[in-house]
Chains A and B, each alone.
Chain A
Amino acid sequence: MNKHLSNGILRKYSQSTTNNIPKISSTLILSRLPVITTELSKFEKLFYKYQEELWRRLMWTFPKWFYFNQGTLAELRYKQLNKGSMSYDPKILYPRGIPDLKQGRDRRFRQYIKAPKPYKEIDELSQEQIKEIEEQKLKNNGEELINKDDLTRKIIPNQRVTKADLNKDDKSLERRLERTLYLIIKVNDSWILPTFENEKNSTSLHELAESGLYKIGGDKINYYNVSRIPCHVKESNNNKEYFIKSHILSGIYEPQDKKNDYKWLTKEELKTYLPNFNEIEHLFSEV
């Protein structure tokens, strides 16, 4: 019985290797990693806010005497900004409870500290100064004049939404900076992940994917192959596609054949383009 079984298996193997050798190809999952952090949900934002307030409430008092020597100009400036809390006076009625002062801080509450700034906020400016800035704005086509070499300027972070997002340009690598983007190309009127056939079955899967990418997208791609190991296999009528994972770190994908269309899409957007998306859904990052 046992002998029979093993014989049967042997025959089956020999058949498949002699009669129809499967065509092997490597499919490339080329991703652009997120540049900025993920957008938080409302719950997360509120929770972090709550925890941070608790954390600040439980902080030790700021050691002012260590950072600002007594009698110096820096200390004077600090004192002007941070007026200490009122000390306890028995004649006064305190609706929020009796203050518990130690080293200029009411120990019952969080300590707020203002550091001297080299620039002025809008509400600190006088009417004339605001007028002056607005005049400058008008001269400079509506944009505020900022000297970028000035180290004392107020630092304004860049927008998380880029021009590519506003233009809905899905060929740009600058869109959806908080998400991982994946490259898909259009071949014969259908959208696929770039696939390259291994003709002689001699080059390794990851090298084939790399050389293939340069062939279709030009060599101005800073390409990083994660591993030699394929992360998925797709079988369909004697074709075997092995998926190779890699990242684009800088550079640009330029289709060598102008007819070939391409797109950089997030996981959710891929759903509508790829027919077998459910099979390979787990390979794409949620973020």
Chain B
Amino acid sequence: MFSKSTILNTNNTFKVLVRYKRTKGSGEVNAATQKIVNQLSVLSASRKQPKLLNLCNEDLIKHKTIMNAWNLFKSKKNLKREEQLRKQYESMKNAMEDLKNTNKHLYKLANSKPNKKEVDLFPIEMRIPTDYPPTIPWIYSYKPRK
């Protein structure tokens, strides 16, 4: 009914009503609050989740076959590893038993742990392997401590 601006004529005084841009309740918040809202929206899943995979039967069978093959591959690898560990354990136990019967003194030296409160740490130079070698693959200039 009203257009953008309406002019009312009452008692010979003109009152001009103009519609300005709305300032109250327009959904705008100050910058600090907007920052928090942004942070919250990063954490939330709404409007960010992809569609479900919804595989067809053929693809589902393919996927299951791949996973079966992978699990078989992994279990074979694990069995092999465990078997090797078992062998290592047995030969170590055997060696200690043998040493005990051959030389009591050396056996005591070998079986003694360092001080109970002291921790036997690995050296920091032992690194986790990386995908690509460092520029200097091996450090030759090692000097023994004196």
Q: Let me know if chains A and B touch directly in the complex, using CB atoms closer than 8 Å.
A: yes
B-binding residues in A (CB < 8 A): 22, 24, 33-37, 43-44, 47, 50, 54, 57-61, 63, 65-66, 100, 102-103, 105, 107-108, 157-160, 162, 173-174, 177-178, 198, 201-202, 204-206, 219-222, 224, 228-233, 235, 240, 242-243, 247, 249-252, 282-283, 286
Is B130 an interface residue when CB atoms closer than 8 A count as contact?
yes
Query: What number of residue pairs across chains A and B have CB atoms under 8 A from each other?
Result: 163
- 7 cross-chain pairs, A with B, having the tightest CB-CB distances, nearest first: A251-B142, A157-B132, A204-B109, A282-B87, A233-B95, A60-B48, A250-B139
Alpha-carbon separation in the docked complex, A59 to B98 (Å) = 58
Q: Chain A's nearest CB lies how many Å from the CB of B65?
A: 12
B110 touches A204 (CB 8 A): yes
B103 touches A24 (CB 8 A): yes
8 A Cβ contacts from B71-124 to A: 73, 80-81, 84, 87-88, 91-92, 94-96, 98-99, 102-103, 105-106, 109-112, 122-123
B126 touches A35 (CB 8 A): no
Is B138 an interface residue when CB atoms closer than 8 A count as contact?
yes
Q: For B67, give the chain A residue with the smallest CB separation.
A: A47
Q: Chain B's nearest CB lies how many Å from the CB of A279?
A: 9
Q: For A207, give the chain B residue with the smallest CB separation.
A: B109
On whether A249 and B123 interact (CB within 8 A), knowing A35-B133, A282-B87, the answer reads yes
Q: Count of chain B residues with Cβ under 8 Å from any Cβ of A?
A: 55
A-binding residues in B (CB < 8 A): 38-39, 41-42, 45, 47-51, 53, 66, 69-70, 73, 80-81, 84, 87-88, 91-92, 94-96, 98-99, 102-103, 105-106, 109-112, 122-123, 125-127, 129-135, 137-144
A24 touches B91 (CB 8 A): no
Query: Which A residues touch B38, using CB under 8 A?
Result: 63, 65-66
Query: Which B residues touch A58, using CB under 8 A?
Result: 50, 53
Q: For B142, give the chain A residue with the smallest CB separation.
A: A251
Alpha-carbon separation in the docked complex, A100 to B39 (Å) = 25
On whether A36 and B129 interact (CB within 8 A), knowing A229-B110, A233-B94, A251-B139, the answer reads yes
B105 touches A201 (CB 8 A): yes
Query: Which A residues touch B138, using CB under 8 A?
Result: 35, 173-174, 250
A205 touches B109 (CB 8 A): yes
A247 touches B137 (CB 8 A): no
Partner of B66, one of A47, A103, A231, A249: A47
Partner of A228, one of B66, B110, B125: B110
